[in-house]
Structure 1
Amino acid sequence: MKKIDKKPYLPTAANISDDKALPFTDGCQQNLDSAEVKICEYGATKNYDATVALVGGSHSTHWHSALLKIAEKHNIRLVNMTKAGCRLSTGKEGLPKCDEWNEHIIGKIAEVKPDLVFTTAEISYFNIKEVPQGYIEQFEALNKLGIQVFGVRDTPYFRNHVPRCIEEFGRDSKECAIEKVLVVPDVTDWSKLKNPPANVHYYDYTDHICPDTLCRPVIGNVVGYYDTGHLSVSFVNTLVPYIEEDLIPLLNKVKKK
């Protein structure tokens, strides 16, 4: 039987580390050293039908490319309001600039007047067993403003730097994969909440990232991560149909209220 060669993975090894969402590279994600809330617009910036605000840290930012494609297709203004190392939370994590940023972010979101805020709804660290109270407090603050939240489950972390591991051991190596049970709890932290904020709509795309018992560095022929914990643009773009299927009906629903 003739051996069938696998398709080359995308992006190529030389380009994986650069396969990042635009705010990482165009200056629109705030850095670690500033508390200023940066606001950048993408998609439809005039005569738009709706506004989605992407808010939080880098695990929010890496969804940007999918949201941008959806925004361009559906005449949506996409507003990026993210900061490196800073989740949407009132929790004090010893990062003064993050704490200060969070003191101002709700007011800035109110000025943007989004129909939806897209952000992470929990933290994927295995030593964290519940949704932080600081998250809940920020969600409730948005609820008081009548703003709905598209909350995504946080993405898992690999133990190895994915591109370097692939380059050293190969795309199918055991060294570069990790058992799903080690990085993805069976029960989501969000599902443990007895009274989740009424304005938060929770979505989980983990089964697309880790479709079986292993989280693999290459899904199909696309490299999932450009480091240990951030999704590549190439992979996020494969999830556009799933996110679009969830986001557009919700957006149409909240716009009618």
Structure 2
Amino acid sequence: MGDSHNNALMTAYRAIAEREHWRIDVAGHIGCYLTTAVQEAPTQGYTDSCQGWKRAATAWIAGHADELDAVVVTHATTKSPVVVPTGSTNDETVVQGLVDAWRTATDRGVPVIAIRDNPIARDDVVACLAQMQGPTTGDCDMPREQALAAFDGNEEAVRVLGDSARYVDMTDRYCTATVCPAVIGGVLTHRDPTHLTATFATTLAPALGDRLRAALDSLAP
């Protein structure tokens, strides 16, 4: 469950499901993810749609808890920031919103597996690569510290929930120690500054599937 960054992993989820013989149900809403925090939106209608999706998502989890092995979540760090209440901070609001929403699952015995958000790319990543002739260079890459600068709160929320949650970090598949390349294995990683290409998402399936399997195995009684 998640926003468009979750939806960008659809091709990976499909490949994982076929390899592992799993059923993976995917629910996504643009600019909206599984949190009790209110997210900023350009219109009231957009806010209402997002809040409605969150209610439907948590109701679905509650109604299907007996069928679920886990709830896998991810979300963008750069879109639809949360509304911070007086007396709180952005990071505190992000983490608390995740924890409260995830407890819809964990309180019913369903663990949560949170996937760290993908890094961002340059604003002009596609145009930059289109100007190249022959083999690509690193001119369109993004420095690691900039690509991963945003806070998604997943690791911190997993820590709060302890044994009922697990954290999956795919950063090593996106980045080196210094940069997050625009092209990996001959494949364009991003179709815009924040969204993965479907082709690159598919290449993540083996590693992501292995890490989801390891997370599930570590949660087994």
Kindly indicate whether residue 119 of structure 2 is the aligned counterpart of residue 156 of structure 1: yes
- The answer (yes or no) to whether the contact 2:32–2:39 under 8 Å persists in 1 is no
Cα distance in 1 between the residues matched to 2:36 and 2:119: 23
Q: Distance in 2 between matches of 1:82 and 1:223?
A: 23
User: Amino acid of the residue matched to residue 139 of structure 1?
Assistant: W
Higher strand share: 1
Matched position secondary structure for 2:109: coil
* Alpha carbons 1:90, 1:103 under 8 Å: kept: no
Q: Which letter does structure 1 place at the counterpart of 2:142? A: I
Q: Is 2:82 the counterpart of 1:119?
A: no
* Equivalent residues of 1:124, 1:155 under 8 A apart: no
CA distance in 2 between counterparts of 1:62 and 1:76 reads 19
> Match of 2:106?
143
Asked whether the 8 Å contact 1:122–1:190 carries over to 2, the reply is no
Higher relative contact order structure (alpha carbons within 8 Å, sequence separation ≥ 6): 2
Residue 101 (structure 1) aligned with residue 53 (structure 2) = yes
Question: When the two structures are aligned, how many residues end up with a matched partner?
Answer: 200
Any idea what the Cα deviations from partners look like across 1:8-62, whole Å, max 9, x if unmatched?
A: xxxxxxxxxxxxxxxxxxxxxxxxxxxxxxxxxxxxxxxxxxxxxxx11011111
Aligned 8 A contact 1:56 1:88 in 2: yes
Aligned-residue RMSD, C-alpha: 2.8
Shift of 1:252: 4.8
Does the CA contact (< 8 Å) of 1:121 and 1:202 recur in 2?
no
In the TM superposition, residue 153 of structure 1 has moved relative to its aligned partner by 0.6
Give, in whole Å, the separation in 2 of the partners of 1:73 and 1:193. 29
Task: Give the equivalent residue in structure 1 for 2:143.
Answer: 179
Normalising by structure 1, we get a TM-score of: 0.68
Q: For residue 144 of structure 2, what is the amino acid of its counterpart?
A: K
1:8-27 to 2 correspondences below 5 Å: none
Q: Which amino acid aligns with 1:179?
A: P
1:76 aligns to what SS in structure 2? coil
Partner of 1:251: 216
CA deviation vs aligned residue, 1:115-159 (integer Å, no higher than 9, x gap): 11111177367x965643211111122111211111011112223
Q: Which residue of 2 aligns with 1:79?
A: 25
- Aligned partners of 2:153 and 2:34: how far apart in 1? 16
Contact 1:177/1:217, CA 8 A, preserved across alignment: yes
Question: Retained in 2: the 8 A contact 1:157–1:183?
Answer: yes
Per-residue CA shift, 1:216-235, capped at 9, x if unaligned?
Answer: 21012111111111111221
Equivalent residue number for residue 57 of structure 1: 3
AA of the residue aligned to 1:117: V
SS in 1 for 2:25: strand
User: Displaced runs of 4+ in structure 1, greater than 6 A?
Assistant: none
Q: Distance in 2 between matches of 1:80 and 1:227?
A: 22
Shift in CA distance, 109/190, structure 1 to aligned 2, threshold 3 Å: closer
The change in CA–CA distance for 1:122 and 1:86 in structure 2 (over 3 A counts) is: closer
Code of the residue aligned with 1:151 in structure 2: it is A
Partner letter of residue 53 of structure 2?
A: W
Q: Give me the whole-angstrom Cα distance separating, in 1, the residues matched to 2:123 and 2:189.
A: 13
Percent identity over paired residues? 26
Structure 1: gaps (5+ residues)? 1-54
